[in-house]
Amino acid sequence: MKKLLLIFMILALSTVRADTYDAIVVRNSSDVIIDYIIAEAYSHKADIPVILTDPESLSVSARRALLGLRSQDAERVLIIGGSQAISTHVEDEIRNIGFDVDRKWGTDRNETAAIVAIDLWGECENVVLVNGNIPESFLVALRTSYVLKAPILLVDENKVPNPTLKAIETLNPESIYVIGPNIPDISGLKGEKKLVGTNIEVSDIEEKRKITFDYVSLLLGILVGGTSVFFVYRTYKRKISVEVPMFVLTEDERKIVDAVKSTGGEMKQEDLPEETGFSRPKVTKIIQDLENKKIISRLKYGKTYKVKIEKKFIKT
């Protein structure tokens, strides 16, 4: 009996683990805003950040964000989009930082949205339905998703795509929140239909374009503001560990850290070349990298800097 209970607990923990992520990575491009919208909907539900990157290589800002998360024991990253959106090279770079990486995508954006909704929500009380060809509706859909903590599904002007039909059948929502204009006949879909802004015509939106149509800038604003709020909230929600596993450091970084630790956790930067055998330019570069990771801090000290270790290290 005890053995059966243990197996059940392991399976339960594995199930929880399967859809638990510490960050979502999405391509940084105005051509695929819908991928960001889909990711942001789950980001809000799960209280995890969305990180934007270049499609062919991990951008500097994305790398720094991921290194910061990794230093706080984050382990799993979800990429939304296929290899054409975000290359396998980016995926390998994220793995090299120390993350487990999962990827969700479909043959088109309709299927991608459906897969994300099914895999990350399962059955849910509400879904948000929007025409994937009307960017003017995206932010309204996202705002509605925030309130409901519901997935976003896509339709075309003339039909409900098969992946969306399958998702609605699987999710079995009580209510479908329909956003914006150019929505096909959805009378056959199960669930109460609640209309949000369906009386808005595209021509009306175009007349107000100077005020409301700069949705790319607004999205970037949401991203910056949302990321800031996330980190403040996460710090409040749980105590962030100041302990960092040694394996997150490169061999050269570890040598610098060991040298500073040997003097009580603080020393002059000009003494590090002699202690480590590294050249001055190499020491400066490594110190800058460690400072970016918030592992050390530097204070001006005469003509040099005083280097101080800010975090405790644990061996794993």
| Token pair belonging to 198 | 């369906």
Question: Cβ atoms within 10 A of the Cβ of 200, count?
Answer: 16
pLDDT at residue 242 tops 80: no
* Residue 251 in domain: yes
Q: Are residue 221 and residue 310 in the same domain, yes or no?
A: no
Residue 314 pLDDT > 70: no
> pTM score > 0.85 for this model?
no
Same domain (yes/no): 233, 152: no
> Domain check: are 223 and 248 in the same one?
no
**Distance (Å, whole) CA 50 – CA 298:** 30
> What angle (nearest 5°) sits at the alpha carbon of residue 268, between those of residues 266 and 270?
150
Same domain, yes or no: 132 and 83: no
Instruction: Output the domain CATH number for residue 294.
Output: 1.10.10.10
Residues 101, 24 share a domain: yes
Do residues 23 and 74 make contact, with C-beta atoms less than 8 angstroms apart?
yes
pLDDT at 80 over 90: yes
> Is residue 46 over pLDDT 70?
yes
Q: Determine, yes or no, domain membership for 16.
A: yes
Q: Is residue 160 part of a domain?
A: yes
Please report whether residue 110 resides in a domain: no
Mean pLDDT of 129-139: 90
79/147 same-domain check: no
Q: Residue 271's domain spans which residues? A: 243-314
pLDDT at 56: 94
Report yes or no on 20 lying in a domain: yes
**Are residue 38 and residue 181 in the same domain, yes or no?**
no
Question: Of 150, 185, 207, which residue is a domain's last?
Answer: 207
* Mean pLDDT, range 64-71, rounded to an integer: 91
Least confident residue range of 15-29, 126-140, 151-165, 270-284: 15-29
> Tokens 């005469």 — which residue?
302
247 and 236, same structural domain?
no
Last residue of a domain, one of 163, 191, 207: 207
- Whether 115 is in a domain gets the answer no
In this structure, are 34 and 179 located in the same domain?
no
Q: Which of the four pLDDT bands, split at 50, 70 and 90, describes residue 54?
A: very high
Query: Do both 218 and 187 map to the same domain?
Result: no
Average pLDDT estimate for 255-264:
89
pLDDT confidence band for 24 (50 / 70 / 90)? very high
Q: Identify whether residues 101 and 217 lie together within a single domain.
A: yes
Query: What is the percent of the chain where pLDDT is above 90?
Result: 40
Does 15 have pLDDT greater than 50? no
Q: Are residues 237 and 256 part of one domain?
A: no
Which of 137-146, 184-193, 206-215 shows the lowest mean pLDDT across its residues? 206-215
Number of domains into which the chain is organized: 3
Segment 185-195 mean pLDDT? 88
